Amino acid sequence: MIYKRRIIDEILEYIEDRNIIVLIGARQVGKTSIMLYLKELLAKQNKKIYYIDLEDYRYVQIIDEGCNVFINHLKEEGFDINKELWVFIDEIQYLKNPSNFLKFIFDHYKNIHLIVSGSSTFEIRKKFKDSLVGRTLVFEIFPLSFAEFLNFKNKKLPEIKKLTAIKRDELKKLFMEYVRFGGYPKVVLADKANKKEKYLQQIVNTYIRKDIRDIGNIRNIDKFNKLLEALSQQSGNLLNMEELANTSKISKQTVENYLFILENTFIIKLVRPYYNNIRSELYKKPKIFFFDTGLMQMLWLKLIPPTVIGNVFETAIYGELVKKFNRENIFYWRTKDKKEIDFIIRSREDIIPIEAKLNFNNFKKTAINYFLKKYKLNNHKVVGIEGDKKSEYFIYPWEL
């Protein structure tokens, strides 16, 4: 069974337009399943479709030989290239020169709609040229949101106003499972904890043994592993470049290079500080966040613990905010005298400070009050799961 992801409806708005649709995201976040869902949907509408997985090197050879060879291949498969055709290409980064291929097909074959995927913006940026500007429409694919997690569990999020105490407790339990194991689809669908851990370890191994060697051209995998483990312990903390370099026994320049690769393979995000009129009071260092709590804990602890601690919960909330507000609209805020707010959301309509607290009772309002006064704002949110939800500004994660 292929489950519908939230982003499907966004993609469908452009499926018949003159764009090259590009899906990017980490391995095993569900890009292939999204493509297969779109493929089946188009087939039901009697559209002509051709699907290629470039993990099969035979197809890489066909396309790398040139666009004319590929067009002849389509004709041999029985397609009339003078009629509309949707071509799905999975893992486009394996091509030697994907830019030239995509540009040529886009410019010369108006009836061919291209939907492609890639597991690394690092590799895609390296291989995609400026010639594709104005031709591509990029969608970022992340691990499942909590709402999608519920869908994969064949459960629905009830209306907030009709939430009974029993249903609320069930949602709390499900959210804590989501925090512990993360949102990779295969992990969510596994029915036992040991299977979930096994699948998470496979994702770690595939990333380190295959993607990093192939994409990052990293020679010293052991030192890269040490950096990755050190980072996994610091999700939600300020980036300390010198400390990371010393811990991993690598140069500061190499740390910067590795961080660039990790960001562009959708493992971590460096969240920048928010500032406007009080820049001199603030820290300038970014914060580190992992996109997936299950992956983060497997790298850190080599297992999934039975309970959730604060920075793991905060990392989960970061993941939820990314899927709702876009990662470029999320900041943190911290003054030099240590007033700190976990997240600042910048949208067209508003600036919203958000605190993530595993227990509502641990919330202290000093920093929030200072920020609201400085920026002349009223709204804020405190996202928690335990304790007393005693304020209108206190919300559960599913109420974001």
Distance CA 300, CA 215 (A): 23
Written as tens digits, the pLDDT of the chain (400 aa) is 899 999 999 999 999 999 999 999 988 999 999 999 999 999 999 999 999 999 999 999 999 999 999 999 999 999 999 999 999 999 998 898 888 899 999 999 999 999 999 876 666 666 666 667 788 899 999 999 999 999 999 998 878 777 888 999 999 999 999 999 999 999 999 999 999 999 999 999 988 766 776 666 777 888 888 999 999 999 999 999 999 999 888 999 999 989 988 998 889 999 999 987 655 556 688 999 999 999 999 999 999 999 999 999 999 999 999 999 999 999 999 988 889 999 999 987 789 999 999 999 999 999 999 999 998 999 999 999 999 999 999 999 999 9
pLDDT of res. 264: 84
**Cβ neighbours of 196 (radius 10 Å):** 23
Query: Residue 367: what pLDDT?
Result: 96
- How many Cα atoms are found within 13 Å in the side-chain-facing hemisphere of 266? 26
Q: What is the pLDDT of residue 121?
A: 62
Class of domain 7-140: alpha beta
pLDDT of residue 1: 81
Cα–chain center distance at 327: 9
Task: Give domain limits for the chain.
Answer: 7-140, 146-399
Biggest alpha carbon distance in the chain?
A: 69
Question: In sequence order, which residues have a C-beta less than 8 Å from that of residue 131 and are 6 or more positions away?
Answer: 99, 100, 103
pTM for this predicted structure: 0.92
